[in-house]
Structures are given as structure tokens and as C-alpha cells.
Structure 1
Amino acid sequence: MLWRDKFAFVSAIVLLIIMAFAIFGPALLGDLATSQNLRGRNSPPFDLSRGWIFVLGGDSLGRPILARLIVAAQSTMAVAAGAVATALVIGAFFGLIAGYMGKTASQIIMRLADVIMSFPSLLLAVVVLYVLGPSIPNMILVLAITRIPIYLRTTRAEVLEVRERMFVQAAVVMGASHRRIVLRHILPVIAPTLITIATLDFAFVMLAESSLSFLGIGIQPPSITWGLMVSQGRPYLNTAWWLAFWPGLMIVITALSLNLLSNWMRVALDPAQRWRLESRKSTDA
């Protein structure tokens, strides 16, 4: 079904390449990304006189932008993946409790979610990072906290609807335990919705991390992220535009690929809409 949606297929290939950069990039190009060469500072792109690694140009300290983009993918993806995974697990756990258990537990959990949502996410991130200090674990923590209410409220709404279905009522009548009902009957039904939201939220978290790094309160050197590279290239926009352009382009490409892939997942994981992709398959055959 992925092949039937060409945009989603290309997006998946792009994301796989970026993930390969994140996994193998630091081991292969870590030294090149940090080695300084002041003779090549702000070298223009597509000038291969200094070697293929400078095909995208050099930064203000003569470091190859291509190598830094590949190495920075690890930190950027690690922050986004860690924040989304943490928010998904915690939000889904409390959402299942709020949706399946009694009214009292639901009210307490939802009020806590309302308290978190009452604070602007970026403002909360700025305050927490200022107090704890900018680092990858702290960045994951603060971004996860701001995204938990989304998964919590979505999970609760889905559970409230699914628990009234006939197969859940049948499991209750047959004496199934609450744990079995939640894990074996309810969670598999709402999981596709949560996965689709997580894919889309991955792009938002990545943009939030880039925004914090751009403001100077995100990941700090010697670590590298795409947002930090954009921030470091901001003073040179008039003289060396490529310093901020290439990392910004990577952010746009990754976010666009995630949005296209999440749109495909929304259709492919929904039995009521999956026929659209299957009908394309039968038509092509």
C-alpha cells in the first residue's frame, strides 16, 4: 500500500536516509564535522577545490557543512524521538486510566492535563531549560511534558468510545480482567490513531527543538543540531546565506516527509479508509 501512494513512498525513503545519517553519521564523519580550517571559512557551496565534503560549502570556522548536517541529524532525531516516545507512553498510560476507570480518576487526570496545557509550550520550555540548563535529556524532558496532554486527551476520547463496543462488552460478560480488556481489546484498536499522531507530532517537536536552539537556549556546542546550525548562520545571512539555508532546508524536508507519511498512515491504518489504497492496487493490476 505504501507503493500506491508515491508521495508517501518517497517520504519514507527520505526518512530512512535521514535515520541512516543519524545512526552512522557521527561514527563516519564526526571528526570532519568538528575539525576547523580557517582557510576554508564561509567557503561557497559547489566548490570542489577543497574536496567533495565541501560540496555544500563551509561554515564560519571552515568546517564542512555536509558533514555537520549528517552528524547533526543524530542529535535532532534523538531529541524528537525521545520526546515523542516519552509523551506517547505517559500520555497513553494515563489516558487509558482516565477513559476506562471511574469518573474520579478521570477528573483528576484531566485537570492535571489542563494545568499543563494552560502554559504556553515554548514559554514553559524556556523557563525549564533556563533553570535546568540546556542539554539533550533536559530538552527531551521539557518537550515531552508539553506534548503529554495531546496523547492523554486523544487516548481518553478513544477509550470512551471503544469500551462501549460489542466486543468489549462481550469480554466483560465473559469475565475478562480489566488488564486483559485494556491491553488485548482496547489498546490495539486505538494504537493506529496514536501512531499517526506521533508521526505528525514528531515534526512539531523537531521544529520546537530547532526554535529553542535558534533562540540560543537549546542544544549547545560542541553538540550539533540543525536548529543550532541555523542559529550560528544567522549573522552571515547577507554574506554567506548557505550557512543557514542548508540546515533549514533539512528541517523543511524532514517535516514535510513526516507530514506526508502520517497522512498515508492515517488511511492505511484505518480499516474504514484502507479500501482507498487497496482499490488503487486492484486498478493498477
Structure 2
Amino acid sequence: MPRPAWPLLAMLWRDKLAFTSAIVLLLIIVAALIGPALLGEMANDQNLRGRNFAPFSLTRGWEFFLGGDSLGRPMLARLIVAAHSTILIAGGTVLAAMVIGAGLGLVGGYIGKNTSQVIMRLADVIMSFPSLLLAVVVLYVLGPSIPNMILVLAITRIPIYLRTTRAEVLEVRERMFVQAAIVMGASHRRIIFRHILPVVAPTLVTIATLDFAFVMLAESSLSFLGIGVQPPDITWGLMVAQGRPYLTSAWWLAFWPGLLIVITALSLNLLSGWMRIALDPNQRWRLEARSTTEASKTNG
């Protein structure tokens, strides 16, 4: 492991909330990656004798420990498989929005005023539409699917990265090291990617972490409204929607996916707060000072 990563890991270890959040997110990501290959067939096997099977019982096997759904499919297996589509949509949306938004923001903040104005007006046009309403209209026209959902959600999130990146670049480009690079004859491409982007990147990573939780909640809302992912694909939001008619008779159908959405969103928010400080050289001393103080108390 690269040596610079060790201080960050040490600071993460000493922040118990952030460390626990990172472990939870790691487990969810691992489940999303390997879940469909291991449990995909089990998650789709129907057994009407196990309809709405109550949780916390091993009489039908470990896979029914969290209960069965309305078609007798094991909830535990479906939750793990649904994590794949949920993380795929949220991750794809955030990655696409960050790459496009940050790219336009770098160009708009570094190059001339006219180009910047055109890019900013584009962001204003996108922001003038309510994001959820825009997603509803586009998905109704194009049809609900994972690629279409990633496309429409990414479009609505681009202005956040664009405006943030442009504001950061306008400030960073006036710093001494950037001016020195210009005087030495460095190309615009080198200045942007070697001198400006590394300074802006920590802010973008922090925003992306928060935005991941927002996009996941937006996907759940769209699936709950019936215009998100459709069967046989499955997400946590769709599982909540499918369990809504059974809230009084089989609460676990909507409770478990809803709980996972809350846990994931909470973990992302807690981790983003730590990352905002840890990745900022001007504020990292707060974590380092806390680590030093705790180490002194332990040794004392």
C-alpha cells in the first residue's frame, strides 16, 4: 500500500463513526459485486408455499432468515441481489455527472469569459427544471430501465459538479504555482490536469460521496412511483414499492430494503463529513491533532 495512505487509514481508524461507515459501505459494495453471481438464481426462485414467510426463523433455511416475499422468494437473497442494481445506478449516475460536470467546469473556469458564460447558461437551463419532474417525464417517454435512469439522473446532477468545479478553478488559477507554470510556458492541458485538477479533486470526491446517497434516494423514489427499474430487475426502491400493499400483514417486505437504504445513506453522509476534513490540507490538522492527543492519552 502506498505510504501516504497510512496516515489517512490511521485517522479513519480513530474516528469510529467514519470507520464503521466505511466498513458498512465496503460490505454493501462487496455484496453488490458478488451477490448476483452467487444468489441470483435463488433470489428468483418462487415457492408459493413460502408466501410472506415470517422472518427470524430457520425452518426453511438460512436464506429465509429475513422472511419471504409475496411469491415465496427469500428476502435475504433478494436484498443482496438488489444491492447490485441500486449501487450500479447510483455509482453510474455519480460517475457520469462528475466527469461531465467537472470537465465543463474546468473549461468554463480556466478558459475565456464567453465560453464560461455559455457553459453556465447550460447549467442554468438544467437547474430550471425540477429534477424529479424531469426524471418522471424522461422516463415516461424513454421507458424505465437502468441505462435510461442513469442518463436522466446524471443530467440532473451535472450542474452541481459544474458550478462547484468552476468556482474552485476561478480561485485556484490565481494562485502562485499556477501563475509560475504559465510563466514557464506549460501548456493549458498540463496546467489543468497537473496543477488545478489535483487541488479541486478532494472537493469533488466529497460532493460525490454525498451525491451518491441523494441519487440512491432519488432512484428509490422513482421506483416507488412505478417508473423506475422494472422486474425482473430489482432494486431496494422497487422492493419497498412491492411491499407497500403488505405493510399491515407482512411488514418485512418493505422494512428490510427501506432499512438498507437508510443505513447506506447514513453511512455515506458520515463518511463524507470525515472525507471533507481529511482531504482538505487546510483542515486535516484537526484530525491529525485529535489522533496525536488520543495516542498521547493511550501511551500515558
State TM-score, norm by structure 2: 0.94
Map 1:1-285 to 2 at 5 A.
1-285=11-295
The alignment of Structure 1 onto Structure 2 pairs a total of residues equal to 285
Amino acid at match of 1:158: E
SS at match of 2:13: coil
Which fold has the larger relative contact order, with Cα–Cα distance below 8 Å and residues 6 or more apart in sequence? 1
Amino acid at match of 1:88: M
- State the 1:284 CA deviation: 2.3
Amino acid at match of 1:182: I
- State the 1:279 CA deviation: 1.1
Q: Could you list the per-position Cα deviations for residues 17-72 of structure 1 after superposition, in whole angstroms to 9, with x for gaps in the alignment?
A: 00011000011111110000111100111021111111110000000100000000
Amino acid at match of 2:269: N
- State the 1:282 CA deviation: 1.3
Matches of 1:127 and 1:211, distance apart in 2 = 14
Q: Could you list the per-position Cα deviations for residues 154-188 of structure 1 after superposition, in whole angstroms to 9, with x for gaps in the alignment?
A: 00000000001111111111111111111111000
The alignment's C-alpha RMSD in Å is 0.6
Unaligned runs of 5+ in 2: 1-10, 296-300
Q: Could you list the per-position Cα deviations for residues 70-113 of structure 1 after superposition, in whole angstroms to 9, with x for gaps in the alignment?
A: 00000000000000000000000000011001110000000010
Residue 3 of structure 2 is matched in structure 1 by none
Matches of 1:225 and 1:57, distance apart in 2 = 17
- Large movers: runs of 4+ above 4 Å: none
SS at match of 2:78: helix
Identity, % of aligned positions: 81
Matches of 1:47 and 1:282, distance apart in 2 = 47
Matches of 1:7 and 1:226, distance apart in 2 = 24
SS at match of 1:119: coil
Matches of 1:3 and 1:217, distance apart in 2 = 41
Matches of 1:214 and 1:221, distance apart in 2 = 13
SS at match of 2:59: helix
Amino acid at match of 1:47: S
- State the 1:135 CA deviation: 0.7
Which region of structure 1 is more displaced relative to structure 2, 47-56 or 261-270? 47-56
- State the 1:130 CA deviation: 0.7
State TM-score, norm by structure 1: 0.99
